[in-house]
Amino acid sequence: MGWGIGNLPYGSVVGPDGRRFAAVRFGDAVLELARVDADLFAAGGLDRFLAAGPATWSRVRAEVVDTLTADRHPLVPLADVTPVLPFAIGDYVDFFASEHHAANCGRIFRPGNTDPLSANWRHQPIGYDGRAGSVVVSGTDIARPSGQFPGDDGPIGFAPTRRLDLEAEVAFVVGPPGTRIAVAEADEHVFGVCLLNDWSARDIQAFESAPLGPFLGKSFATSLAAWITPLEALAAARTRVPQDPEPLPHLRETGAHGLRLDLAVSINGQVVARPEFGSMYWSYAQMLAHLTSNGAAVRTGDVFASGTVSGPARGQRGCLLELTWNGAEPIELGDGTSRTWLEDGDEVVVSAHAGDITLGEVAGRITRG
Residue 222's nearest CA partner among 367, 362, 125, 22 is: 362
Contact call for residues 267 and 197 (beta carbons, < 8 A): no
Within 8 A by CB and 6+ apart from 144, the residues are: 160, 161, 164, 344, 366, 367, 368, 369
Q: Which residues are catalytic?
A: 101
CA gap 311, 68 in Å, rounded: 38
The four Cα atoms 193, 140, 300, 292 give a dihedral, to 10 degrees, of 70
Residue 346's nearest CA partner among 131, 197, 147, 225 is: 197
365 CA to centre of own chain: 17
CA gap 35, 60 in Å, rounded: 11
Contact call for residues 13 and 23 (beta carbons, < 8 A): yes
CA gap 70, 18 in Å, rounded: 28
Contact call for residues 229 and 192 (beta carbons, < 8 A): yes
Q: SS3 string of 86-132?
A: CCCCCCEEEECCCHHHHHHHHHHHCCCCCCCCCCCCCCCCCEEECCH
If residue 292 lies in a helix (H) or strand (E), which one and from where to where?
helix 284-292
Please tell me whether residue 53 adopts helix, strand or coil conformation.
Answer: coil
CA gap 39, 36 in Å, rounded: 9
Decide the pairing of beta strands 20-26 and 29-32. antiparallel
If residue 241 lies in a helix (H) or strand (E), which one and from where to where?
none
